[in-house]
Amino acid sequence: MMGPSHALSGAAVWLTGSWALDQFADYHQTPLALAVGTAVCAGGALFPDLDLSGKVTRNQGGATVARTFGVFSLFIAEVMEKISLGVYYATKLSRDPRRNNGHRTLTHTIPFTLLVGWGTTALCAAYGKWAVVSILFFMIGLALRGLFDEWAERAGWVVVTLLSAAAAWFTFANLPGDRGYPLIGTAVGVGCFVHILGDMITKAGVPILWPIPIKRRMWTMIGLPNGIALRTGSKAETIVLRAALTVLAVLAAVGLVAPSVLQRFNIEV
């Protein structure tokens, strides 16, 4: 799946989940908390592809998401790719093939998802608002790059960076302090998980069972069979899937916000 589809699926899942919690579990969020969660989940849904490195020294290559903050994020991607490849070789069994690139390995596993979710929660608990503003800055940048890819391409990474900084600062100024913000860690973790599911419906698949060894393989790639798998960049993805995700996200957002808007104008339903 391509970047915009990943980001969109993160946003749609977060909004739909929030709507379900609001309806059935009586768990309500303020509009700001909803916006923050949605942006962070959309960004988190791109995070695993920050393992597609390019050539930092020549400022070339890398996934779209690796270009969010120019060479800085390209460098992070390079480091993440090398770490992933290292973990691949450290845990590989005899039937796992040799690889020279770490893409779609460590960052596309459940333990990584849990680690990122827990790590984010721990950072927010330890450093409070300062951790929140840094994480927001990073995730909003990824979300902007993913959701509005054509605009971001034209605007360039400096504009994306400045906008994310402004959005992070605004949120920082408006979120109440003295809390741990467990929602942010949850949103990042859910986003990573949604990304893995998105890659699973393509034929390359993801090592979702890692680290469970199967037939002397630790990195079994699980994905849909060729016949029904989604082709990356196909019309089924760029038109049908994205339209469905957009409709879902909009419906959930309307369902979440409409009741309080109606209430404000004293309209009973």
Q: Which residues bind Zn ion (CB under 5 A)?
A: 49, 199
Contact 133, 164 (CB under 8 A): no
Between 78 and 199, CB nearer to Zn ion: 199
Please name the residue that has the structure tokens 């927001």.
136
Give the nearest distance from C-beta 244 to Zn ion in angstroms: 20
> 177 φ, ψ to 5°?
-85, -160
Distance CA 101, CA 86 (A): 10
Between 115 and 163, CB nearer to Zn ion: 115
Contact 192, 45 (CB under 8 A): yes
Between 109 and 171, CB nearer to Zn ion: 109
Q: Which residues partner with 61 through β-bridges? A: 54
Question: How many Å separate Cα 222 from the centre of its chain?
Answer: 20
Between 117 and 191, CB nearer to Zn ion: 191
Query: What angle do helix axes 129-147 and 110-127 make, rounded to 10 degrees?
Result: 140
Give the nearest distance from C-beta 78 to Zn ion in angstroms: 16
Cβ atoms within 10 Å, residue 7: 31
Between 109 and 121, CB nearer to Zn ion: 109
Give the nearest distance from C-beta 18 to Zn ion in angstroms: 24
Largest Cα–Cα distance in the chain?
A: 68
Strands (E), 56-187: 60-61
Contact 115, 42 (CB under 8 A): no
Give the nearest distance from C-beta 49 to Zn ion in angstroms: 4
Give the nearest distance from C-beta 128 to Zn ion in angstroms: 31
- Joined tokens for residue 158: 């400096």
Between 49 and 81, CB nearer to Zn ion: 49
Between 39 and 208, CB nearer to Zn ion: 208
Give the nearest distance from C-beta 196 to Zn ion in angstroms: 8
The DSSP secondary-structure symbol of 60 reads E
Give the nearest distance from C-beta 195 to Zn ion in angstroms: 6
